[in-house]
Amino acid sequence: MRLVVLGGGPAGLEAARAAAPHANVTLVSATAPGAWRPLASQVWLAAVTTGMRDLLAIGARAARAAAAWQERCAATLAALDVELLTGHARLTGPGQIELEADDAGPARQLAADAVIVACGAHDVFPAGLAPDQERIIGAAELDALTALPASALVLGDGPSGFELCHIFSLLGTTVTWLVPDATPHSRLTPEVDGYLTRLLERQGVQLAPRANGAQLAADADGVTATTPEGASYQAEVAVLTTLRRSDPEALGLPAAQAATDVYGQTKWHGVYLVDDDLEPATASVAMAQARAAALHAVRRSSAPADTRHIVRSFMAQPQVAKLGRLATEGAHGSVTVALAEGAAAYVHDTPEGFLTLTWDQAGRVAGALAVAPAAADLLAPVALAMRLGMRLDELAASYAPHPSLGELVALAARKMER
């Protein structure tokens, strides 16, 4: 069986890795496999929140990380005997792919028994706004900055908006944050929006609420944002958050055929679509969809992707991580422990933050929310417990190393018992 995977992002790589032991797999990607744009922003966030302040050093670290990760991804694919082709691909029919050559030569035709389309989504900027790579840059293009701006406008909220304000305010840039509503929304966890906003305000971020529809004008001196109500804000640069939109039609998949079943299979038999059109977008969800689609395509599994147990996270120091359902989303009960209830907070001097566990009517883990250093890692075993259908009283009997952040999970479960 021949499987062609389109896209070398997290989802395409995952599909290729899952299918490779069971099929002849070709991965076609417009960019090097593993070239993942958010990696640079994540390196910036990690660097700045651990004290780095030198922009050039941070940029070099991001470039090294990207190169090393791409090298590792290429090696993994080679070890799995996955054929790698570079270029822009387009579907011309079920199992039919046209690959544009890089050198304007004739297009190459590929045939496959199954195709996984994992081409991600493109950035959509608010109406009238577009990066120019000088005064106006996109959230995933921080490497376009050659010098630290004294002032920056951050336009838009969502996870990226919070992270951008965190990065620039810690770097000492004066940040004005233009958000569409009265207050910023992460769209992941309304429970922590106020907490994070206050943290950013303490770091000097100035909020410009109800700035929906602001337009930008850039010149040699800087950039000015003007809202429809006439308020105006100036800074050296503007950084835009984005929405993401996938466009299967541009990849040759007719809109009428693009509806998918539980495996992501479209109406074109054997053509699977991994849709990254999520808000907030999460690579792990796309990877889970890609794996389920690939295993279904090679007839190894008929289990659809179960994304209920995926931890989603954003920010750093503190990181925010969320899993499953919280009390506001229908969980039966919830218990919260402060970081300060565990000894690790005193060792690492991080008393701020908390972990919430929720449960369903049968007392099984239903979700969790953490604001803590490495909150995503803290929730990883909780996700496993949830997948296994464990009850909180079973979690209560487990003991993590003392003192460690991991102790909080069982601490919360024991607190619930009391």
Q: Which residues of this chain interact with ligand FAD, rule CB under 6 A?
A: 6-12, 28-31, 35-36, 38, 41-42, 88-89, 118-120, 139-140, 160, 242, 244, 251, 274, 276, 281-284, 286
Q: At what angle do helices 158-170 and 38-49 cross, to 10 degrees?
A: 40
122-124 and 243-245 strand pairing: antiparallel
Q: What is the largest CA-CA distance in the chain?
A: 71
Give the amino acid at 373. P
Which SS3 state, helix, strand or coil, does residue 302 take?
coil
Number of other CB atoms surrounding residue 31 within 10 Å: 13
Angle at the Cα of 76 from the Cα atoms of 141 and 297, rounded to 5 degrees: 95
SS (H, E, C) 332-393: CEEEEEEHHHCCHHHHCCCCCCEEEEEECCCCEEEEEEEEECCHHHHHHHHHHHHHCCCEHH
Q: Which residue's structure tokens are 């060792």?
A: 347
Q: Taking the complex as a whole, how short is the minimal distance between the CB of residue 412 and ligand FAD, in angstroms?
A: 25
Q: Taking the complex as a whole, how short is the minimal distance between the CB of residue 227 and ligand FAD, in angstroms?
A: 23
Q: Which is nearer to ligand FAD, 262 or 388 (CB)?
A: 262
Contact predicate 249/241, CB 8 Å: no
Q: Which is nearer to ligand FAD, 288 or 337 (CB)?
A: 288
Q: Taking the complex as a whole, how short is the minimal distance between the CB of residue 35 and ligand FAD, in angstroms?
A: 6
Q: Which is nearer to ligand FAD, 290 or 335 (CB)?
A: 290
- Beta-sheet strand order (sheet of 215-219): 215-219, 222-226, 232-235
Q: Taking the complex as a whole, how short is the minimal distance between the CB of residue 386 and ligand FAD, in angstroms?
A: 19
Q: Taking the complex as a whole, how short is the minimal distance between the CB of residue 390 and ligand FAD, in angstroms?
A: 25
Q: Taking the complex as a whole, how short is the minimal distance between the CB of residue 85 and ligand FAD, in angstroms?
A: 9
Q: Which is nearer to ligand FAD, 169 or 334 (CB)?
A: 169
SS (H, E, C) 157-223: CHHHHHHHHHHHHHCCCEEEEECCCCCCCCCCCHHHHHHHHHHHHHCCCEEECCCCCCEEEEECCEE
Q: Taking the complex as a whole, how short is the minimal distance between the CB of residue 172 and ligand FAD, in angstroms?
A: 22
Report the C-alpha gap between 412 and 116 in whole angstroms: 42
Give the amino acid at 387. R
Q: Which is nearer to ligand FAD, 281 or 305 (CB)?
A: 281
Report the C-alpha gap between 231 and 228 in whole angstroms: 8
Q: Taking the complex as a whole, how short is the minimal distance between the CB of residue 87 and ligand FAD, in angstroms?
A: 7
Report the C-alpha gap between 319 and 353 in whole angstroms: 9
Q: Which is nearer to ligand FAD, 345 or 378 (CB)?
A: 378
Q: Which is nearer to ligand FAD, 7 or 353 (CB)?
A: 7
Q: Taking the complex as a whole, how short is the minimal distance between the CB of residue 200 and ligand FAD, in angstroms?
A: 17
Q: Which is nearer to ligand FAD, 291 or 325 (CB)?
A: 291
Q: Which is nearer to ligand FAD, 28 or 62 (CB)?
A: 28
Q: Which of 182, 211, 172, 209 is nearest to 54 (CA)?
A: 172
